[in-house]
Amino acid sequence: MIEVLRTVDGMRRWHRQTTGTVGLVPTMGALHDGHRSLVRASKGQADRTVVSVFVNPLQFGANEDLSAYPRTFDRDVELLKEVGADAVFYPSVEEMYPRGESLTRVAVGRMGQVLCGRARPIHFEGVTTVVMKLLHIVEPDYAFFGEKDWQQLAVIRRMVEDMNVPVAVVGVPTVREASGLALSSRNQYLTPAEHRLARNLSKALEAGRSRYEAGERNRDAIRQTIWNWLQEQGLEPEYVELVDPDSLETAPRQLDAPTVAALAVRIGRARLIDNLMLGRN
Ligand code: AMP
């Protein structure tokens, strides 16, 4: 049995009546196998799993896809039943922001301004604010986030550490199609031809990794390999960067520790991101 809870009070009541540990999987719905993998990870660690489905207006910029974002709640509930989630927290915007706006915001300084933060300056403040609210509403023992959104995961880890939030943040590996394309709700925006083109995000990162594995340690050389791969396919990257996995600071010129290679590319209506870890299995 899965319970759908639409109010903060209902969610808190559910928790009071639950025994054992609770895992939270925050999502924006339009669920796919990537989300399914997060739920599985939670079920492996916590006694009960709550999935939140909330398209958070605070993390969308004025020209972004808030109104177009896919909403498939009935299908989402079926998927969550199938994978064995215990509860879905599905609040309205009014339930989450009853005053119309949240005057209080949580921000992580420069970690929210680099990488995707350059093109989306208010995005991470919106994410951290809603995740902090969800953590206070659900009070989970564990919270699960995908490595696909590496910056988001790093930002939330840092927020939890800085603010002493009593929750264990767990990162879950990226789920990909057989072609290598990372699953994303935004892949729905792609035409078949764009979808084929989008496979080059992971292929470009793999090309960078091959150079790394062949012994290349020059940051800019690896970055250039990834950039060139994309450009040769006619793609114009928004960014390609090699960064420290925790601080998100630009990696040193000569790589000497595990490094995340991350990129963003716009294809048609979709802004797609992907990343890969170099130097750690
Ligand atoms: P979203 O609904 O896109 O906001 O994503 C909700 C959670 O699912 C986030 O923690 C994402 O990082 C994670 N997620 C999205 N796509 C994937 C994927 N392909 N593999 C693993 N996790 C994912």
Instruction: Tell me the per-residue pLDDT of 176-208, one tens digit each, with 9 for 90 and over.
Output: 999 999 999 999 999 999 999 999 999 999 999
Looking at the CA of residue 28, tell me the nearest atom of ligand 1. Answer: 2
d(CA 90, ligand 1 centre) in Å: 17
Percent of the chain with pLDDT over 90: 98
Has domain 3-172 been given CATH number 3.40.1360.10? no
Q: What is the mean pLDDT of the chain?
A: 97
pLDDT of residue 281: 67
pLDDT of residue 280: 84
Confidence of residue 101 (pLDDT cuts 50, 70, 90): confident
**Which residue is catalytic, options 32, 35, 136, 195?**
35
d(CA 35, ligand 1 centre) in Å: 6
35 is catalytic: yes
| Structure tokens, 215 | 């012994």
Domain ranges for the chain, please list them: 3-172, 185-275
At the topology level of CATH, where does 185-275 sit?
Answer: Pantoate--beta-alanine Ligase; Chain: A,domain 2 (3.30.1300)
Q: Is the pLDDT assigned to residue 48 strictly greater than 90?
A: yes
Closest-CA residue, ligand 1 atom 17, reads 34
pLDDT of residue 200: 98
Rounded Cα distance, 4 and 6, in Å:
7
Instruction: Name every residue whose Cβ is closer than 8 Å to that of residue 160 and which is 6 or more positions away in sequence.
Output: 135, 167, 169
| Structure tokens, 25 | 């999987």
CA distances from 245 to 12, 139, 157, 251 (A): 34, 27, 11, 9
Does the Cβ of 39 fall within 6 Å of ligand 1? no
Compute the average pLDDT of residues 234-252. 98
Looking at the CA of residue 29, tell me the nearest atom of ligand 1. Answer: 2
Q: Is the pLDDT assigned to residue 94 strictly greater than 70?
A: yes
Q: Taking the mean position of all CA atoms in its chain, how far away is CA 63?
A: 20
Listed in sequence order, the DSSP H helices in 17-72 are 33-45
Q: Is the pLDDT assigned to residue 149 strictly greater than 90?
A: yes
Compute the average pLDDT of residues 28-40. 98
- Report the candidate in 208, 200, 202, 206 with the shortest Cα–Cα distance to residue 235: 200
Q: Is the pLDDT assigned to residue 238 strictly greater than 80?
A: yes
Q: Is the pLDDT assigned to residue 77 strictly greater than 90?
A: yes
